[in-house]
A and B are shown apart, each in its own frame.
Chain A
Amino acid sequence: MEKRIREELLALFKSKLSRPMEMYLETCARCGICTEACHAYASMPLPKYTPAYRAEVVRRIYKNYFRWQGKTVPKAGECKKLDETIIDELKEAAYSCTGCRRCMVYCPFGIDTQQIMSIAKLLLVGAHAEPELLSLLADVSISKGESIDSFKEGFLEGVKNLEEEVVEKWRHEAGRTPIPTEVVGAEILYVALAGAHSIIPAAAIFNAAKENWTLSFFEAVNFGAFVGDPTKTKIIMDRIINEAKRLKVKEVCICECGTAFRVMSQLSGSRPFKVSSITEVHSRYLKEGRIRLDKSKFNVPITYHDPCQIARNGGVIDEPRYILSHLTDNFIEMSQDPKYNWCCGGGGGLVALGEETLDFRMKSAKVKAEQISKTGAAILATACENCHTQLSNLNEHYKLGMNVQFLSSLVSDALAK
């Protein structure tokens, strides 16, 4: 590797050395307690799939360039030079980790492997070795933000086409727009995904609750976070923050997308508006009696997969259960403690990479498939786009015979007048 490139990569590495990151890199005792936490290792017991092994790939570079050991006795810590050979190792480590942070719950120190993998991802971006598709998708999101006017018309037309279906689900007062946009002073700015499934049920529920809401021009998903590029992550996030500020909304409601919710609610610092997941909003509507659900709609056992970024990493744990208690008397918990729920195996950009990662996703989530199958439920609900895709793939691959549904779709289908 050329000296100049190495120096650039080390500068990127250094930019990630925050206070917690330093402690994560310094403290691991390589005790291996986190080993069993990772679904990839639990499904395919190879040492390279243990959380600490992944982190070691990064830690060994850290020790080589940023610590005394690399300069004195590099062999003692098996320090590694940053060269071409390590790029493949970084890629394998980072893109076999979904960033679910289940290992963080196991570790006696609470070491965050997702954070450490964010260094690996950034180094890959710096070495132009990241999955191109993710960077491309991030760039598309960014250019959308930069030239909002040029795609506005097409967007509004697309939204118009969905209105009929929204009204079919919930007929509200005449004269009101089923999918409002650009409402200054709205209570809620709803940030959806590109796709009718993310807009229609949500719109019907907002309308049923008589909410003063407005639809964002941007899609929630943050491909910058998937590819691990902090600059792009911020630009993509700022599009939404600026829109919320411009419209002076009180609350930004993120659709069923785990990464988008975690980035906005946990990783973006303080904001002048409240951030909620759509699950929280629906649970609130039920509590306040603004919507009612018809329990007779689904007469089969329902189970719920807690998306890692929304539950363990985002704190939305009780709300989906509250909603489900209004949807069915036959709810089956998937994991005794939601904090320990297995990851679906599709996070961290793996689902976005589609077919390319399908084989690994299916093999590494064997434990997840077993967990789902044990519930014996007929409907498998979840509240994250990535999880939904991955769970549907698992459903097919492992022939689970489940009906995989978005929680918001169940709510909108069960809306009672």
Chain B
Amino acid sequence: MNTVYFFILVPMVYIAFAVFIIGMAAQVIRVLKKPKLNASLRIYPEEKPRWFWSIFDSILLPTVWRHNKALWFFLIAFHASFILVFLGHLELITEMKWIQLIKHEIFLGKGFVGLIMSIALLFFLFRRFISPTKELSVPEDYFLLVLLFLTVVFGSEMDWARRWYDYGEMSVDAYRSYLSSIFLLSPKIADVTTSGHSFMLVLHVFFANLFLMFFPFSHLIHSIFAFSLNKIRRG
């Protein structure tokens, strides 16, 4: 079991990050190498400055707001939570004073951020079972949502256990010692593998690794292309 834990918590993490970074770079370079189109694909009327509206469109999703308010609500809640969770992980690697301007125990959001993400992911998943989104969806779409849901649920569970159920065996310091050691390239897993709760972390990291590895090769590449595409639409 120890070997499996070690594999997931150390080498697999490095592999996942390598695949993610190289994959993302390769995708972007591949697209950049394609010829530009000598044409305008914009939609009118124009609003200026165009760069501002492209960013506005990409971040605030006004078209979704206009056409599907419920989906807009879950999309914004999900993406905002994603950013908070990302910041939370950064805080586990290194202390960042500026985030503590809002006084909090790591993670931000008192456990509710993970809950919101989980609910949003279930919403995204279940709406795929309804026509016509059902006919549009391919197995990959369900797979990614399930994978992310599992990552989020196991990750949040550690937060919830500490906050809501007084489960004190694995502390923020234990997570921090593990994650920062990974980033300092001198992995230490002892603090996070001895508790009865360790399997939660191992599962969280396992699903997160898989998610990272699939990310660049799926439509999640929208995290980058959304900005360029909205710029094309804005002209």
Evaluate contact between A315 and B46: CB separation under 8 angstroms: yes
How many angstroms between the C-alpha atoms of A109 and B227 in the bound complex?
Answer: 8
Closest beta carbon of chain A to B186's beta carbon, Å? 33
Residues of A with C-beta under 8 A to B127: 32
Evaluate contact between B136 and A313: CB separation under 8 angstroms: no
Known A-B contacts A18-B36, A22-B31, A314-B44; the reply to A76 vs B143 at CB < 8 A is yes
Stretch at the interface among A100-108, A159-167, A406-414: A100-108
Evaluate contact between A19 and B35: CB separation under 8 angstroms: yes
Stretch at the interface among B94-102, B199-207, B216-224: B216-224
Stretch at the interface among B57-65, B149-157, B165-173, B190-198: B57-65
B226 contact from A27, A67, A266, A267, Cβ within 8 A: A27
Closest beta carbon of chain B to A29's beta carbon, Å? 5
What is the size, in residues, of chain A's interface with B at 8 Å between Cβ atoms? 57
Residues of B with C-beta under 8 A to A22: 30-31, 34
Chain A CB within 8 A of B68 CB = yes
Known A-B contacts A26-B221, A56-B136; the reply to A105 vs B63 at CB < 8 A is yes
B132 contact from A32, A76, A106, A110, Cβ within 8 A: A32
Evaluate contact between A27 and B222: CB separation under 8 angstroms: yes
Evaluate contact between A27 and B221: CB separation under 8 angstroms: yes
Chain B's closest residue to A72 (CB) is B217
Stretch at the interface among A47-55, A210-218, A390-398: A47-55
Evaluate contact between A31 and B39: CB separation under 8 angstroms: no
Closest beta carbon of chain B to A310's beta carbon, Å? 10
Residues of A with C-beta under 8 A to B140: 69, 76-77
B64 contact from A23, A56, A108, A338, Cβ within 8 A: A108
- A41-72 near B? 1/0 per residue, CB < 8 Å: 10001011010110010000000000111000
Contact surface of B with A, Cβ cutoff 8 Å: 27, 30-32, 34-46, 57-58, 61, 63-64, 66-68, 71, 127, 131-141, 143, 217, 219, 221-222, 225-226, 228-230, 232-234
User: Which 10 pairs show the lowest CB-CB distances between chains A and B?
Assistant: A110-B233, A47-B135, A315-B44, A32-B133, A47-B132, A267-B39, A269-B38, A30-B136, A18-B37, A76-B140
